[in-house]
Structure 1
Amino acid sequence: MSQFRRLSDKMLASPQITVADVAAAKEQGVKLIVNNRPEGEGDDQTPGAEIKAAALTAGIDYLEIPITHAGFSHPQVAQLAEALERADGTVLGYCRSGTRSTLLWALARASLGDDPGTLAAAAAEAGYDVSPVRPAMDALAARR
């Protein structure tokens, strides 16, 4: 079972989840699962189609925004920002370790005008370091 880490009152991040974790997510009020892991990235990976099927069966929406070694793009940030704005409840993002999900969340929230310092502190409290994307967070927040 994965350990969900709270980034905000409406966002959780997690390492790779399994089909069994979907039930735990539902119990915690998750309304949307966001898969940030490209298919076939590792042998430890539950296929996204299996997570999606379990999520939809449980009444949880599912979205794929795969983040590769190439990094983050504006369309990925915009896609998560829109999903966060539309989510009617808690969102769970996952990848191999939870780091890419956290970084994408921080970028998306900064693009929506949240304070980068507050986002960085929340990520650190959950055990994640957003310093690799902090300059981008600052730039996105400054546009608001």
Structure 2
Amino acid sequence: MFRKIDETISVAPQISVEQVQQAADQGFTTIINNRPEQEEPGQPSGDAIREAARGAGLAYVAIPITPGGFTAQQVEAMQKALSEAKGPVLAFCRSGTRSTFVWALARGAAGDDPATLAEKAANAGYDISPIAPLLARR
């Protein structure tokens, strides 16, 4: 379920409250929620995930991203969350794609090579070619 991009981050589709403890057991230290509230009926609330994360000793960051695109503030918030993490991060959204995209944009803004980012994402099952023009501009 959790797809490892590299040693610092894995991504996932929507996680459940129960999976928060699984994330902690697997060594994650931070959960980043890239999903807007009530995007889909029946999804757990961000508050429920946050409380489960706190209960499991994990940091929790909410950076909701709608399917419509990314803002500079969201990319900056992702950079900050990644840089402040005390260990591996688990980021999630509906499918894991937005989490992968915003990770790639944050790492690209930090100077990582776009081709390396694309390879890491592909190894985890994600295609970041839709954001390649954004990465090329950084």
Provide TM-score, normalisation by structure 2. Answer: 0.97
* Alignment: residue pair count: 138
Query: How far 1:29 sits from its partner (Å)?
Result: 1.0
Q: Which runs of 5+ in 1 are unaligned?
A: none
Q: Which runs of 5+ in 2 are unaligned?
A: none
1:53 is matched with: 51
Q: Which amino acid counterpart does residue 111 of structure 1 have in structure 2?
A: A
Query: How far 1:44 sits from its partner (Å)?
Result: 3.8
User: Is the partner of 1:30 in helix, strand or coil?
Assistant: coil
Query: How far 1:138 sits from its partner (Å)?
Result: 1.7
The root-mean-square deviation of aligned C-alpha atoms, in Å, is: 0.8
User: Is the partner of 1:93 in helix, strand or coil?
Assistant: strand
Q: Which amino acid counterpart does residue 96 of structure 1 have in structure 2?
A: R
CA distance in 2, matches of 1:29, 1:115: 27
Query: How far 1:135 sits from its partner (Å)?
Result: 1.0
2:35 to 31, 37, 40: 37
Query: How far 1:28 sits from its partner (Å)?
Result: 1.4
Q: Percent identity?
A: 49
Cα deviation digits, residues 89-111 of structure 1 (max 9, x gap): 00110000000000000000001
Query: How far 1:70 sits from its partner (Å)?
Result: 2.6
TM superposition outliers: structure 1 runs of 4+ over 2 Å = none
Provide TM-score, normalisation by structure 1. Answer: 0.93
